[in-house]
Amino acid sequence: MIFNLENLVRENIKRLTPYSSARSEFSGAAQIYLDANENSFGSPLGENYHRYPDPLQTEIKRVISVRQNVETDQIFLGNGSDEAIDLLFRIFCEPRSDNVLICPPTYGMYAVSAAINAVETKRAALTKDFRLDFQAIENQIDARTKLLFICSPNNPTGNSFPREEILQLIESFGGIVVVDEAYIHFSRSESLVSEINRFRNLVVLQTFSKAWGLAGARVGVAFAAAETIALFNRVKPPYNISQPAQEAILRAFDSGAKVEETIAEIVSEREKLIEKLSEISRIEEIYPTDANFVLVKTAEAEKIYRFLLDEKIVVRDRSRVELCAGCLRITVGTPEENESLLRALKKL
Ligand SMILES: Cc1ncc(COP(=O)(O)O)c(C=O)c1O
């Protein structure tokens, strides 16, 4: 299908004169800064906090561009990838007229963001074994479908979708395909970031909240063609990544090797946890996972959930989610945490 970015963008966004912040009008070095109504006397906490942060997070993007082999203008940083999801709606979806397509069960924020932005969510459920249903997807797409969300590895099912299938969707869909790779670092599959030069309708989301262990910093990443990233930058709040968050990411880059080690540890713990869970008779099925969590099916999800809560262990009850009846989603913990979980399950 022919892709034309100009035709997808909302009229008000095309006409928008973006806010021009003090720090984007002057980004050189001066001795005295009296341009941004900051507190010239400093902050009670630290050196940098009385100044507004870099609106375009230049340093962080420079590092990401080298690590991921993309240009800095192909990167957007958001206040979590949740901000990038919300901006996609605000850039592309006309309230009360456009729609988006999701493949449930999947990450809940796509539908919530759609509802907040008064955009209809269409659904093409996964098959019973959690594969993409191409016929259902095709049936749901119409002339007003602007975004197609594919979460791979998928939350809450944990599985990745085959690369070829995702590429097929990107090739055939005339809107934007959003591939959410929040859990990609734990996966056997390769990221699709390398495809953003080939497909102008591809937006890949990643996050520092999972493998990087920085959920509290709230930083997510969108990779896309430069013209799409330029739209994100026009619509985003001027200083959307705080100075402490930017510093946290830069410090984390310095400990890059540790991140790789942690990912390997989590993956190894995941495999051990799966093996031990399979010995527990109350667990009827353990779904294949490529993420840092495991979805398990039980005959008594709510009872087990409540019992674990009494044991001061909280897992996620997904039993009321489409196709997930009886399912609990369990995040892979430290070896000690996983042991405690298994001990509690055996006690039940
Ligand atoms: C699939 C998926 N995408 C995005 C997010 C949100 O990530 P962030 O913390 O970057 O907002 C989550 C959080 O659980 C997720 O599961």
Q: Render pLDDT for 50-65 as a digit per residue (tens, 0 to 9).
A: 999 999 999 999 999 9
> What is the length of the chain?
348
Mean pLDDT across the chain: 96
pLDDT in tens, 68-114: 999 999 999 999 999 999 999 999 999 999 999 999 999 999 999 99
Ligand 1 and 82: CB distance under 6 A = yes
Whether residue 298 lies inside any domain: the answer is yes
Separation of CA 159 from chain center: 15
182 lines ligand 1 (CB under 6 A): yes
Confidence category of residue 249, pLDDT binned at 50, 70, 90: very high
207 lines ligand 1 (CB under 6 A): yes
CATH of the domain at 160: 3.40.640.10
pLDDT confidence of residue 46: 77
- Nearest C-alpha to atom 3 of ligand 1 is from which residue? 182
Q: Tell me the C-alpha to C-alpha distance, in Å, between residue 47 and each of 10, 24, 130, 216.
A: 41, 21, 50, 21
CA of 183 to the centre of ligand 1 (A): 9
Reference 332, options 153, 75, 119; nearest CA is 153
200-206 average pLDDT score = 98
Report the half-sphere exposure of 273 (CA within 13 A, side-chain side). Answer: 31
pLDDT attached to residue 2: 74
Sheet arrangement for strand 293-298 = 283-286, 293-298, 327-331, 316-317
Residues 268 and 198 in one domain: no
Q: Among the three residues 254, 273, 297, which one is the final residue of a domain in this structure?
A: 254
| Residue 266 exposed, middle or buried by CB count within 10 Å (0-12, 13-18, 19+) | buried
Mean pLDDT for the stretch of residues 135-145: 98
Give the separation between CA 259 and CA 115, rounded to whole angstroms. Answer: 36
The pLDDT, as a whole number, for residue 86 is 98
**pLDDT score recorded for residue 190:** 97
Ligand 1 centre and the CA of 17: distance in Å? 30
On whether both 67 and 216 belong to a single domain, the answer is yes
Cβ 179 under 6 angstroms from ligand 1? no
266, 141: one domain: no
pLDDT tens-digit profile of 105-139?
A: 999 999 999 999 999 999 999 999 999 999 999 99
- The answer to whether residues 101 and 114 belong to one domain is yes
Question: Is the minimum distance from the CB of 161 to ligand 1 under 6 angstroms?
Answer: no
Which value, in Å, is the radius of gyration of the alpha carbons in the chain? 22
206 and 242 share one domain: yes
In the structure encoding, which two tokens stand for residue 211, read together?
């493998």
Q: Tell whether the model's pLDDT for residue 256 goes beyond 80.
A: no
- Mean pLDDT along residues 268-279: 98
Distance between Cα 38 and ligand 1 center (Å): 32
pLDDT in tens, 280-317: 999 999 999 999 999 999 999 999 999 999 999 999 99
User: Does the pLDDT value for residue 279 go beyond 90?
Assistant: yes
Do 235 and 291 lie in a common domain? Answer: no
Q: CATH no. for residue 339?
A: 3.90.1150.10
Q: Say if ligand 1 is within 6 A of residue 209 CB.
A: yes
| Ligand 1 atom closest to 106 (CA) | 1
What tens digit of pLDDT does each residue of 321-345 get? 999 999 999 999 999 999 999 999 9
Structure tokens at 229: 């990233």
Taking only the tens place, the pLDDT of each residue in 210-247 is: 999 999 999 999 999 999 999 999 999 999 999 999 99
Q: Kindly state whether residue 62 falls inside one of the protein's structural domains.
A: yes
% of the chain surpassing 70 pLDDT? 100
Q: Which of 77, 85, 88, 109 to mutate to test the pocket of ligand 1 (most atoms within 8 A of CB)?
A: 109
Give the number of C-alpha atoms closer than 13 A to the C-alpha of residue 339, restricted to the C-beta side.
Answer: 3
Residue 219 lies in a domain: yes
Its domain, for residue 117, covers 5-25+52-254
Going by alpha carbons, the residue nearest to atom 7 of ligand 1 is: 81
Q: Does residue 107 have its Cβ closer than 6 Å to ligand 1?
A: yes
Residue carrying structure tokens 């269409």: 122
Q: What is the distance in A from the centroid of ligand 1 to the CA of 150?
A: 13
Residue 47's pLDDT band (boundaries 50, 70, 90)?
confident
Cα separation of 331 and 308, whole Å? 14
Query: Is residue 83 lining ligand 1, measured as CB closer than 6 Å?
Result: no
> Is the distance from the beta carbon of residue 156 to the nearest atom of ligand 1 less than 6 Å?
no
Q: Given the DSSP bridges, would you call strands 202-207 and 220-223 parallel, antiparallel or unpaired?
A: antiparallel
Distance 34 CA to ligand 1 centre (A): 38
If one counts the domains in the chain, the total is 2
Confidence label for 1 from pLDDT (cuts 50, 70 and 90): low
Among the atoms of ligand 1, which is closest to the Cα of residue 209? 9
Reply yes or no on whether the pLDDT at 3 is more than 90: no
pLDDT reported for residue 175: 98
Give the span between the Cα atoms of 110 and 324, in whole angstroms.
18
Sheet of strand 99-102: strand arrangement:
75-78, 220-223, 202-207, 176-180, 145-151, 99-102, 120-123
Residue nearest to atom 2 of ligand 1 (CA): 182
The answer to whether residue 47 sits within a structural domain is no
Map tokens 């979805």 to a residue: 295
Task: Decide whether any atom of ligand 1 lies within 6 Å of the 211 Cβ.
Answer: no
